[in-house]
Amino acid sequence: MLEITNTLTGNKEAFAPIEPGLVRLYVCGVTPYDESHIGHGRCYVTFDLLYRLLNFLGYQTTYCRNFTDIDDKLINKAAQQLGDRLRYVEIANNFIKRFHEDVDALGCLRPTIEPRVTQSMPIIIAFIQKLIDRGYAYEVDGDVYYHVPKFSGYPKLSKHNLEDLRVGARVEVSEQKKDPLDFAVWKKESEGDFFQSPWGWGRPGWHIECSAMAAHYLGKQIDIHGGGMDLVFPHHDNEIAQSEAISGAPFVRYWMHNGLVRIGQEKMSKSLGNVFILNQVFAQYDPMVVRFYFLSHSYRAPLEFSLDGLDGAQTSYARLCRQLGGANIETVDTETMKKSPTVQAMMVHLLDDMNTPGALGALFGRLAEVASDETERVAVSSFMQQVLGLTLAPLHEKQVEMTPEIEALMKEREEARAQKDWARADKIRDLLRQMDVDVQDKKAD
């Protein structure tokens, strides 16, 4: 039986869907205003694994992942790059295409449903109206706010102290709010801009979108809701408040959150300039190596991302490709895979809160035996591709042209090493690796 760590309770719990045999899975998607980065990759590989595992276990799974294709960041980018804030859809379309290219390369299956906020506006507006009708939201001069004190137990997921939040609330200054923690579910805009609603022209707030789309596409109660740990508060707490105000029942049975990516013990962020863009990483490492790297770590723990870590993952993954790749898996069915002793050993770990490091450890412990038994090799290879999403295709060395820029950086790095300026040398090494140059150092004197 699959066990999942439920963020709501903090406990590992046996998974039992609301309706036997059926699973409704919702995962918060991206705001498509820029390139996808390593943090996005980790999140969507995590929930792709969950989707694949649920299917392998025989569940009929409906997987919904949205696109927040209207947002302040999109609007601002359209104004800066296109000179017209109302052309935000062009920005969104471009980066949705690039997002799909990146997650496809990582071996992620497409969700069952991928709704876009801009195409779900009647659903969202109707949801807001229900909140107003039930006294959980109020309109002031074209803006609509959710009234937090009306919802008992807020915030249920993060369990922050409400008064501490109120005292230290980082909220927009507004005399319209009844309470400092009240948050916008509809934002007023100029006449004719964005979408028309019963409250005038405007656009939805961030949190309301997921509540409305989850209810419309999956129902008032869903089995699993996933996302990054950074979404617990306020986004997922606000989703709970909105959804349960309408349904009067628990919104989600199991909340799952993946740990965040850190660079040098710091959270990866654009403001710190330490973001690794996926397609730039793919220029140096095969996307399957990147997926294997993610799976080599517990999904719930913070991931200390490094190119050295990717180098190690590449070596290990190449070994799997040599030993297991090329097997004829076309005729292998699920029951055949389940009979494999190695698959059974791996499943013990995967059923334990998707413990992928344990599953891979079990595989490597039996790898020589698997490689020498063709029946076992075919079953395991099929399992790796179907459940872990690893293609096991041979890795190809990338050829790098030595340019004057690369030569200058290598010379600069040698000078830094000679001066024992290791921090500067490491920074240049990382830059070179982004340019597909792998630097192998000799021991320093």
- Are 68 and 201 found together in one domain? yes
Alpha-helical segments (H) within 366-421? 367-371, 374-386, 404-418
Q: Is residue 83 part of a domain?
A: yes
The verdict on residue 303 lying in a domain is yes
**291 inside domain:** yes
Same domain, 13 and 77: yes
Q: End-to-end distance of the chain based on CA atoms, in angstroms?
A: 55
**Residue 100, SS3?**
helix
φ/ψ region of 58 (left if φ > 0, alpha if ψ in -120 to 50, else beta) reads: left
Same domain membership, residue 237 and residue 91: yes
Q: Rounded to an integer, what distance in angstroms lies between the CA atom of residue 323 and that of residue 66?
A: 38
Tokens of 31: 């705001």
Give the pairing type, strands 222-228 and 22-27.
Answer: parallel
Do 329 and 408 share a domain, yes or no? Answer: no
Asked if 350 and 359 touch (Cβ cutoff 8 Å), the reply is yes
| Crossing angle (nearest 10°) for helices 374-386 and 341-350 | 30
Closest CA to 171 of 187, 184, 156: 184
* Residues 133 and 250 both lie in one domain: yes
Q: Classify residue 444: in a domain, yes or no.
A: no
Q: Report how far apart, in Å, the C-alpha atoms of 258 and of each of 249, 292, 299 are.
A: 25, 16, 5
Which of 249, 258, 250, 262 is CA-nearest to residue 28?
258
Q: In terms of domains, do 220 and 309 share one?
A: no
CA distances from 140 to 137, 245, 258 (A): 10, 20, 37
Tell me if 148 is assigned to some domain. Answer: yes
Domain boundary among 261, 295, 311: 261
CATH at residue 21: 3.40.50.620
> Per the domain annotation, does 138 fall within a domain?
yes
Do 152 and 24 have their domain in common? Answer: yes
Q: Pairing state of beta strands 137-140 and 60-65?
A: unpaired
Same domain, 256 and 350: no
Verify that 62 and 154 share a domain, yes or no: yes
Based on the fold, state whether residues 22 and 53 are members of the same structural domain: yes
pLDDT of residue 444: 41
> Would you say residue 357 lies in a domain?
yes
Whether residue 344 contacts residue 383, with contact meaning beta carbons closer than 8 Å, is answered with: no
Instruction: Report CA Rg, the chain.
Output: 24
The contacts of residue 198 (CB under 8 Å, 6+ apart) are: 125, 129
Residue 396 included in any domain = no
Q: Which residues of the chain have pLDDT under 70?
A: 168-174, 270-271, 397-402, 433-436, 438-445
Instruction: Note down the domain range covering 318.
Output: 284-386
**Hunting for tokens 């109302």 — which residue is that?**
86
pLDDT at residue 445, rounded to an integer: 36
Token pair 């929930």 is found at 47
Do residues 191 and 240 share a domain? yes
Among candidate residues 261, 295, 312, the one where a domain is terminated: 261
Cβ(24)–Cβ(113) under 8 Å? no
Among 214, 230, 261, identify where a domain stops. 261
Beta carbons of 236 and 227 less than 8 angstroms apart: yes
121 and 202 in a single domain? The answer is: yes
Q: Give DSSP secondary structure letters for 83-97.
A: S-GGGHHHHHHHHHH
Count of the separate structural domains present in the chain: 3
- Bin 236: left if φ > 0, else alpha if -120 < ψ < 50, else beta: alpha
